[in-house]
Structure 1
Amino acid sequence: MRHTWRWFGPVDKVTVRDAAQAGAQGIVSALHHIATGEVWPVAEIEKRHAEIRAGGLVWDVVESVPVSESIKTQTGDWKAHIANWQETLRRLSASGIRTVCYNFMPVLDWTRTDLRWETRHGAKAMRFDLPDFAAFDIHILKRPAAKDDYPDWLVEEAAKRFSEMPEAKIVALGKNIGAGLPGSADGYTLAQLLEKLRSYEGTNRARLQQNLVDFLSEVTPVAEQVGINICAHGDDPPWALLGLPRILSTEADYAHMLSQVNSRANGVTLCTGSLGARADNDLPFIATRFADRIHFVHLRNVTRETDTVPCSFFEDEHLEGGTDMVAVIAALLAEESRRREEGRDDHEIPMRPDHGQEILDDLTRGAQPGYPAIGRLKGLAELRGIERTLLHSRYGLV
């Protein structure tokens, strides 16, 4: 696999040179300062390439070209936004980009209640606490009829949590849950979040699935023409939130998307952490079933507190948690071997060590939550060790 590293641009407190020293071969980045729905300017694309080259690496993967809420709901300027997305693909291809990641999560991107939760050994990790989230939904956001979406025991626990919650925790929950895409300056106040939720009235799960298919039907032919693989990141966490449907949470969800737009250019960002938050997602099997359409990989692990859906979980160390990382990597390496024999140009699958616990000097650096330097270096080293072992001529299994 090609070992990549996410970089949020010049504002990132972890530099491209840090990534190179950690063992990364390429960079995953995006132009977060360009408004969602707009065409990415050629000058800004080239500027980002130059910034990355100055640090000693190259820009391999775009994560993400955002999909606007207008596209997801097919309202407002959604057709113009699709045309702009197509044009951005053309410009990225002309600059040498061959892989573009995106997601189709309504309103919220990845969602956590705690961005720096303390683990048993003092590291800081991101966490999704289900009772805290329900308390936010019912008592802080005060979404109409929110109680109807939770079982009685959880409604009671959420009320208890809220009654004991200090003001600082209430404010923090609002900021953490209402945050925008990682690396962006976007985010929602409570009033703005409620307004965004109202914009999805009448958009049920089936409608959102069809809107994704409609979007892919328009952009995939352009991706084919310009030689780019587009790949959908899964829902994080992989279940409905705030009354909104989520449609890329399970193996069946991905199977539907891939079958409806059956092109190699339309593929998967396999995120073992996002899908791994559900006990009913078998990650080694998913990696094998969709191997031909996996264009980008996020390797991380979560520990679930229960096997129910939904559940509370936290971002564990890369080789801990509920996902058998050795089996997943073995499946990916087997696919790379198959692609090389087939003569595919995309035989090397880019992966990155996704998220990471803040450890050692990370605790004072103040980097983007989930994206520390040393925690990701540790994860990348562990993942590389698995890969080297599996490929070793004496001990290799693939």
Structure 2
Amino acid sequence: MEYLKKTFRWFGPSFGVSLTDIKQIGVEGIVAACQDIPLGDIWPLETILALKNEIESHGLEWSVVESVNIHTSIKYGLPERDVYIQNYIQTLKNLAANNIKVVCYNFMQLIDWTRTNLDFHLPNGASALQYDPIAAAAFDLYILQRENASRSYSSEVLKIAKNYFDSLKDNERDNLRDAILAGMPGSRKLISIEDFKANHATVLNISKKELQNNLAYFLQAIIPEAEKLGLKMAIHPDDPPFSVFGVPRIASNYNELKFILDACPSPSNGLTFCSGSLGASSENDLVKIVNDFGPNIHFIHLRNVQRQDDGSFYEADHLQGSVPIEKVMKAFVQEQQRRSKSGKEVVNIPMRPDHGHVLLDDKKRQNDFYSGYSLVGRAMGLAQLTGLEKGIREGLLN
């Protein structure tokens, strides 16, 4: 039986974690993207090949693309979306020509993830990412100043959020703003508040059903092409898996994921299973999602979150938190056993430890890497997950 393929996300030569560093921690593959290509443009063959050659020169494989981002015209159903869909298809063709066959993407409308604190201090001295709904409400009400935002919150939350915001010093308000505007992995550049407001105003006028229809339109255009190319498309869940700033979610729970798979049934239409994103909601049964959608899970992100009674959560140690990570891992090992018996599917599903605490030597290079993507913290997570997988696998065999 093949193990899950151990991979690690890397953001290119300007990233504070090098391929030489990554090679030492025992991974097989790299998760990467052509970061500098403007959104919506075709990824040229030569650019893809150059990145692939750089990765392979370190004895590693480019296992997964994360992400080929989707132009907002596609998400919002604008008239020019067909042009960007054709560009997307050509990028997929260029990736397939370089034998890169797994593509992670997301359909989140504002930013790729939302956190209110990028340096949440843990009792052991490490730091993690955190989401606090009161801080998010304060941003919405007093920094974003969304029209009619108060209608989204109870009177109690409005009162607590005002008291919270009033208690913040100027630099703390700046930190809150910057934490939310930094939700684009792979870049140290913050989204401007003006761009955020403009984009936000647009998406608020689009219903959840319209967003789902726009995603279905995209899938029905690209999935047949991906299937011809032998590519596996893997959508990432919304993070967090509930509405933030009044924006609806369309990839946050079992029924929404089922809608995505049913929109264009195909072995190429699949999921990125992210235990942290889905696990931030107590309503999600992660084991059921693996069991029911297993054949269509093409990429795995494993991390843990600790949910709090006040609705906040922080990114916990990979093996400790609210996510039943042992049960999730067991479900994936059993999915691999099923695939091995069928003989028709990829058994060594690529998996990466998602995010990581800032600890030990990470603290000396904290300004070099992107939030959530420390070296030591993720390496520790990978080691923990590898040991967990080995123990579960041997337990099932004995």
- 1:158-197 matches, within 5 Å, as 158-184=161-187, 187-197=190-200
- SS at 1:3's partner residue? strand
> Partner of 1:66 in structure 2?
69
**Closer, same or farther: CA 7–334 of 1 in aligned 2, 3 Å:** same
**Closer, same or farther: CA 345–284 of 1 in aligned 2, 3 Å:** closer
- 1:127-142 matches, within 5 Å, as 127-142=130-145
In the aligned structure 1, how far is the partner of 2:92 from the partner of 2:188?
23
Equivalent residue letter for 1:385: G
In the aligned structure 2, how far is the partner of 1:397 from the partner of 1:289?
23
In the aligned structure 2, how far is the partner of 1:130 from the partner of 1:241?
9
1:189 CA drift (Å):
1.8
1:212 CA drift (Å):
0.6
Q: Retained in 2: the 8 A contact 1:268–1:295?
A: yes
Equivalent residue letter for 1:377: A
Stretches of structure 1 that go unaligned for 5 or more consecutive residues are none
TM-score, length basis structure 1? 0.96
- SS at 2:17's partner residue? coil
> Partner of 2:306 in structure 1?
303
> Partner of 2:272 in structure 1?
269
Aligned counterpart for 1:378 among listed residues 380, 385, 391:
380
In the aligned structure 2, how far is the partner of 1:17 from the partner of 1:345?
32
Is the counterpart of residue 216 in structure 1 residue 219 in structure 2? yes
In the aligned structure 2, how far is the partner of 1:54 from the partner of 1:364?
28
Equivalent residue letter for 2:268: A
In the aligned structure 2, how far is the partner of 1:279 from the partner of 1:334?
23
Task: Write the deviation string for residues 314-350 of structure 1: whole angstroms up to 9, x where unpaired.
Answer: 0000001111111111111111121122122422210
> Partner of 1:46 in structure 2?
49
In the aligned structure 1, how far is the partner of 2:247 from the partner of 2:389?
38
- SS at 1:199's partner residue? helix
In the aligned structure 1, how far is the partner of 2:126 from the partner of 2:182?
22
Is the counterpart of residue 347 in structure 1 residue 347 in structure 2? yes
Is the counterpart of residue 326 in structure 1 residue 326 in structure 2? yes
Equivalent residue letter for 2:274: C
Task: Write the deviation string for residues 146-195 of structure 1: whole angstroms up to 9, x where unpaired.
Answer: 11111221111110011111111111222221125211355422222111
Aligned counterpart for 1:391 among listed residues 376, 387, 393:
393
Q: Retained in 2: the 8 A contact 1:69–1:107?
A: no
Q: Retained in 2: the 8 A contact 1:27–1:58?
A: yes
1:382 CA drift (Å):
0.7
Identity among equivalent pairs (%)? 39
In the aligned structure 2, how far is the partner of 1:152 from the partner of 1:264?
47
> Partner of 1:335 in structure 2?
335
TM-score, length basis structure 2? 0.96
In the aligned structure 2, how far is the partner of 1:250 from the partner of 1:18?
36
In the aligned structure 2, how far is the partner of 1:64 from the partner of 1:5?
14
Task: Write the deviation string for residues 283-325 of structure 1: whole angstroms up to 9, x where unpaired.
Answer: 112111111110000000000112x7xx210000000111111
Equivalent residue letter for 2:322: G
Segments ≥4 residues shifted beyond 2 Å:
184-188, 395-398
Stretches of structure 2 that go unaligned for 5 or more consecutive residues are none
- 1:16-55 matches, within 5 Å, as 16-55=19-58
